[in-house]
Structure 1
């Protein structure tokens, strides 16, 4: 039977803060002893082990056959055994758009000032590495490295990463990748050779750079890819005393409730949160119908939306009509002439179907038919930038990407390899009508221009994964949205940001889109909040960000989906982040590690296993499991309303004494009663419980999910929560 690498998860450790290298070695030896009893000897176990997790997480990764893995899983000390799998990366105006502009009203943004720019806060990203020479990681003007930092830079090879007072640590973890793909050319370095990690790290905590401004914390980075590597990255970040872990990575969606402890991100982040470390994750790029990832309630999960910057490129038709398009390509055609237009389906190469040619697939176009012309390609399947390369290589002068009906008005500005623009479905009808009306259709594509504040934003990105969670729909995900479309950040030189072969777009800063880009925005905000409120738990920081978020756009209208329809909490969660408001939320929904373990009890996990997660605690599952809808989350989700249901929540005061009143917008077809209707707080830290009773109206027509909202407010604060109800009867 062939070998596969597996994670054997044993829970947590009972190390005291003064644990020594000898203590860690003893734990490692215990792993060899356990594994040796299954593979024949401790010597064979040492050869099989890839990683031994000894500091915070207790467990190991090893090469095993399936039968060995199944037998080890039966051991009473083993919490779970699961395959080591690959993880997917969830691949400046954005900070201004969330009201954090450093020049607005001629003063530094309020939260930045309060947080002293994140002084002594350490953000770690688990990603593809870092390009240390970027100006975003300059330590000019930085103070000393925080005294709590226990990490280091791996800089002992020619490709190593030198550190400074800004980029204070960089490590790589690739043993899991070697175990899965030994033939790959894998470098022993934390240096970024893809660009993803550099981009996300500079967004979360990059320095101020003229023309590409991002703010300044101390940064640590870990280069990871597989489950085994990722768990090692989590353990290193915890041991190194970071404050925030930013995770623009996702695994396959958790589909069964008992898969929580077979998921490296869920496990690693639970250990981190138990140590007071905030973990921020991306929601995934499988939208609009894809399943949400990173759904654990201790994670802050971020979806992606647009900002109010336009990257326009106009298509000028032969009769003079202008059609607005989107492009980031700086090249343009000479504006003193018009070029022949051709539909790519009419330019199919010999033996190629019109459908393949319509999409401008590889080798689908006849160079004789497209040379010197502007080619109209249909959106879909083939990557948009790839279409441009196909047109360019066939001799085309320019390209228009025309949306299909299902794409609607969703326009994405891409860094194309030739003059190009993307147009809406409605405008594509105008274009094709013109092309049919004349024997010699002509056009030109204007240079790209940028505008700020004109278009409505935020709008949900079509790629951003939506809820509900398949495994735990009682926890609404994503939690919030943040800028994730056309985000400018640092990028390694010599690498093409499009990910294609050509490197002509190599640049120290690049635009990228994805929930990978929205996640580090929130990681940065979490770092600032931690700097201002050092005594806040990760749950309190998360609640502050969620309950101060907004579901209206810059024009005062409800946030819309890319189709123009009003978005729901399944796409935007609590809404678009407002960092300055989050610094003073008034009230928070707080949670402890025991609350999260109670949540796992309610999912059906064995109490004996859960006790291994916190050996320093006397945790026991409650005699009566909590109702998942009652988990103290800053959002309310009831996935099955049978006539009536009552949920409870607890609010903690983190502001001045005061009285809060409730305001409710009930979901359609549901009556809601909140008791009490007022909550009075006399001191910081005081907690109050309230109940929300939901009743399905008898006159309700139809069933299914319906959406509302609730807010507690005083003279200064508004503490918002969405309400999501699936009406069954």
Structure 2
């Protein structure tokens, strides 16, 4: 694996990487220039230059080619250069690394109550609802006029705040207030990519060259984490009630790094990190992933590099796990200093029923709010029966109006957006749509505000309706919409789309870290597009309902804001530890959480430590803290040399003389890898250090739950005693197994839990034992 490969020198490392990049460039047609990000050793700046920017423009590239300069979480610049120019700069002794700018994608109310938050008591009360904590959102911007961003009864902006409210198209400093304390936009990387592709930059017909949100994603995530109370909120009548964020009094700073027509470029993301930390945010929420950074080593992943710069300065960074589940090893944002969040359901649903002509009722979900079918039966057709794959998927121009006009059309999920399928059906003359899951989606369903009567059904129900069409001469159906239902059981359930472990780069670090509400989440929306996001959807709505790990991530961002408000002395690692060790593993039936895609109990590869539970997180008892040197030691342990690590850490580092073990990073979970080549009796030891944040005089006893044949876990000492003088205690966890007796399930994983108990607190960490090292 790239993350555990050792190289003799950093120069060889980066020349090797860049040579590979150039060979790829030569193998396919490409423009003569590209955008590159350069990591510079800032301490080597000659004194003759007054600023780093002066140095960069005098030595490396002319001002007209430089897009961003970075000086907080990262030292260096991004520039549009020829491949030969970029390659030549590698010979400069101050250039530590160079990587090509890449585009990434967005990982696209009742949830606070579902997380255990209650008015006037508990964490909301103890943290004053997150007052004076500032959350920075790296996203698509913000629609500032929403009630969710009111500053009514908020105190002055914290004096430490250094940010700005930038002017631009339909946005001015007056759009900011004591709630929305800052708003910036970064489009240099986006525009450079557009020009290189023959375009002109920001498309003014669909975008705003300003912090204003033309997409809706950024407005939704910001209000999920920190929206004020908004009464009589709903999306066209669905999910009616009081909308509020997890930390309603926290301040918001919007950093627009994603653009509706092109996604999010690494150079702009890195600029967002750089300014957010310099401005003084306490938490960064980034619901972005994918691209080359999905499996790139940490030193070539700007999200990993930028987030390290933030975390090393005390800023908590919450990131989305990705939406490529339920496939194993699909999780992104893998760095151990990031808090990586998967998605689960809440106990609210939007049921809709498909009634077949034979009287059978099929259960599904929908957010359709237009004219109802009122029980009228319509002919039912499945274009994929004879029209091929594109017809079954209801791709654009794939449906024959003569076949679908006046009928309810069955469309298979996949390839194009779900709401786009409905638009294709409508434009082809269809009167309704049944959206059928395939095997990969299983029974996992999300609601959509379709442009015509439509209902999503699971794979089993999809097979049933197709079977009905095939076996009936004149198949008929109608769709009945049931509105909003609360109190659904079981909940939470792991969303089928939520990305899963193991960690492809660092299998010793369990990812995702935890899950949070990410299915059918109501939050504020933009006026720039309708609820479907389709250009042809002219509806306006103050709130919208979305699903994705993008929606789960800001729940954890808001949770971190509450904990930072209640415990300002806690480090980012301590906050994450509190969230993880108090996370729930049971649903509202008091049974183990299940996986929506299989119906089986969820594993830590699905949920990490469990589901966010804010009723317990403020008082975790013990935390597993991690400092900057601990992260450096971890990077040394996976084979990075000091120069390579400096690309990440910003500062020169020294690796310990004895190579550390990667499993000894003081993480709130334990991942055990037994190599398939091992035979006989094997054991591995892990060291952890617990810090007491509860009562001064406390005694904790260990409890291990690992119901697996052939695996034995021992903990020494088995009791931790804390006092006025003893606030930290280390212990060793030894996991032993006889390879002949190991009994794995079909996923080659055994899991259980290690907990410390004092009679009040349960400090729980997952233990995962895997048979083979992921490749």
- Whether 1:683 aligns to 2:716 is no
How does 1:470-489 map onto structure 2 within 5 Å? 470-489=504-523
Q: Give 2:753's aligned residue.
A: 709
Q: 1:329-478 to 2 correspondence within 5 Å?
A: 329-335=368-374, 337-345=376-384, 353-435=387-469, 438-478=472-512
Matched residues in 1 for 2:72 and 2:403: separation? 65
Distance 1:706 1:127, change over 3 A: same
Cα displacement string for residues 457-494 of structure 1 (whole angstroms, at most 9, x for unaligned residues): 11222222111122111111110101111111111113
Give distance in 1, aligned partners of 2:376 and 2:170.
52
C-alpha deviation, 1:66, in angstroms: 2.5
Indicate yes or no: 2:97 matched with 1:80: yes
Residue in 1 that maps onto 2:79 = 62
Aligned CA distance change for structure 1 residues 28 and 361 (closer, same or farther; 3 Å)? closer
Partner of 1:579 in structure 2?
A: 614
Name the counterpart of 1:200. Answer: 221
Query: Contact conserved, 2:294 with 2:332, CA < 8 A, in 1?
Result: no
> Which of 165, 170, 176 is the matching residue for 1:163?
176
Aligned residue number for residue 36 of structure 2: 6
CA distance in 1, matches of 2:70, 2:461: 57
Q: Would the aligned equivalents of 1:611 and 1:620 in 2 still touch at CA under 8 Å?
A: no
Residue among 326, 336, 339 paired with 1:297: 336
Q: Deviations over 1:274-310 (max 9, x none)?
A: 1111111111122221622111111111011111111
- The answer (yes or no) to whether the contact 1:385–1:417 under 8 Å persists in 2 is yes
Measure how far apart 1:200 and its partner are: 0.8
Note if contact 1:255-1:470 (Cα within 8 Å) is conserved in structure 2: no
User: Which residue of the partner structure matches residue 288 of structure 1?
Assistant: 326
Q: What is the CA-CA distance between 1:345 and the residue it aligns to?
A: 3.5
After superposition, the Cα gap between the structure-2 partners of 1:585 and 1:24, relative to the gap in structure 1 and judged at 3 Å, is farther
With 670-679 and 62-71 compared, the bigger mean Cα shift is at 62-71
Tell me, yes or no, if structure 1 residue 238 matches structure 2 residue 277. Answer: yes
Q: Is the 8 A contact 2:343 2:549 kept in 1?
A: yes
Q: Find out whether 1:213 has 2:244 as its counterpart.
A: yes
Partners in 2 of 1:326 and 1:566 — Cα distance?
23
Instruction: Give yes or no for contact 1:12–1:612 (8 Å, CA) kept in 2.
Output: no
Deviates more, 1:49-58 or 1:298-307: 49-58
The answer as to whether partners of 2:688 and 2:731 remain within 8 angstroms in 1 is yes
Cα displacement string for residues 561-602 of structure 1 (whole angstroms, at most 9, x for unaligned residues): 122122211111101001121101000000111111111222
Partner of 1:177: 190
Aligned pairs for 1:566-715 (under 5 A) are 566-608=601-643, 610=645, 619-640=653-674, 642=678, 643-656=682-695, 657-666=697-706, 668=708, 669-683=710-724, 686-701=727-742, 704-715=748-759
Q: 1:627/1:392 Cα in 2 relative to 1: closer, same or farther (>3 Å)?
A: same
- CA distance in structure 2 between the partners assigned to 1:505 and 1:23 by the alignment: 58
Asked if the contact 1:10–1:79 (Cα under 8 Å) also holds between the matched residues in 2, the reply is yes
Preserved CA contact (<8 Å) 1:208 1:216 = no
Match of 1:146 in 2: 158
**Following TM superposition, by how much is the alpha carbon of 1:537 offset from its aligned partner in structure 2, in angstroms?**
0.5
Q: Which moved more, 1:688-697 or 1:320-329?
A: 320-329
Query: For residues 482 and 543 of structure 1, what CA distance do their matches in structure 2 show?
Result: 15
SS in 1 for 2:570: coil
C-alpha distance after superposition, 1:399-425 (max 9, x if no partner): 222333444322222211111112233
Distance 1:188 1:379 in 2: 34
Secondary structure of the 2:62 match is helix
The separation in 2 between residues aligned to 1:610 and 1:494, in whole angstroms, is 43
**Change over 3 Å in CA distance of 1:62–1:426 after alignment to 2:** closer
Q: Is the 8 A contact 2:103 2:266 kept in 1?
A: yes
Say which is worse superposed, 682-691 or 698-707, in terms of deviation: 698-707
User: SS of the counterpart of 1:539?
Assistant: helix
1:547 touches 1:574 (CA, 8 Å); kept in 2? yes
Distance 1:399 1:46, change over 3 A: closer
Instruction: Tell me, in whole angstroms, the C-alpha distance in 1 between the residues paired with 2:473 and 2:291.
Output: 51
Find 1:272's aligned residue among 276, 288, 310: 310
What's the C-alpha RMSD, in Å, of the aligned pairs? 2.5
Tell me, yes or no, if the aligned pair for 2:57 and 2:63 is still in contact at 8 Å. yes
Correspondence 1:28-177 to 2 at 5 A: 28-35=53-60, 44-100=61-117, 102=118, 107-155=119-167, 157-160=169-172, 162-177=175-190
- Given that 2:356 and 2:476 are in contact with CA atoms closer than 8 Å, whether structure 1 keeps it comes out as yes
2:719 pairs with 1:719: no
Change (3 A) 1:335 1:3: closer
User: Which residue of the partner structure matches residue 563 of structure 2?
Assistant: 529
Question: TM-score, normalised to structure 2's length?
Answer: 0.86
Partner of 1:19: none
Within 1, Cα distance between the matches of 2:612 and 2:725? 24
- Any unmatched runs of 5+ in structure 2? 1-30, 234-242, 258-263
Q: Distance in 2 between matches of 1:13 and 1:131?
A: 40
Q: Is there any run of 5+ residues in structure 1 with no aligned partner, and where?
A: 16-21, 36-43
Deviation of 1:432 after TM superposition, in Å, equals: 4.2
Change (3 A) 1:74 1:571: farther
Aligned partners of 1:546 and 1:577 also within 8 Å: yes
CA positional deviation for 1:436 = 5.1
SS at match of 1:181: helix
Equivalences for residues 556-575 of structure 1 within 5 A: 556-562=590-596, 563-575=598-610
Q: In structure 2, do the counterparts of structure 1 residues 64 and 427 end up closer, same or farther at CA, with 3 Å as the change threshold?
A: closer
Q: Quote the Cα distance in structure 1 between the aligned partners of 2:176 and 2:726.
A: 40
1:409 and 1:157 map into 2 onto residues whose CA distance is: 43
Alignment coverage as a number of residue pairs: 703
Aligned to 1:320: 359
Give, in whole Å, the separation in 1 of the partners of 2:690 and 2:48. Answer: 41
Distance 1:198 1:698, change over 3 A: closer
Task: From the superposition, tell whether residues 473 and 672 of structure 1 become closer, same or farther in structure 2 (CA, over 3 Å).
Answer: same
The Cα shift of 1:705 comes to 2.7
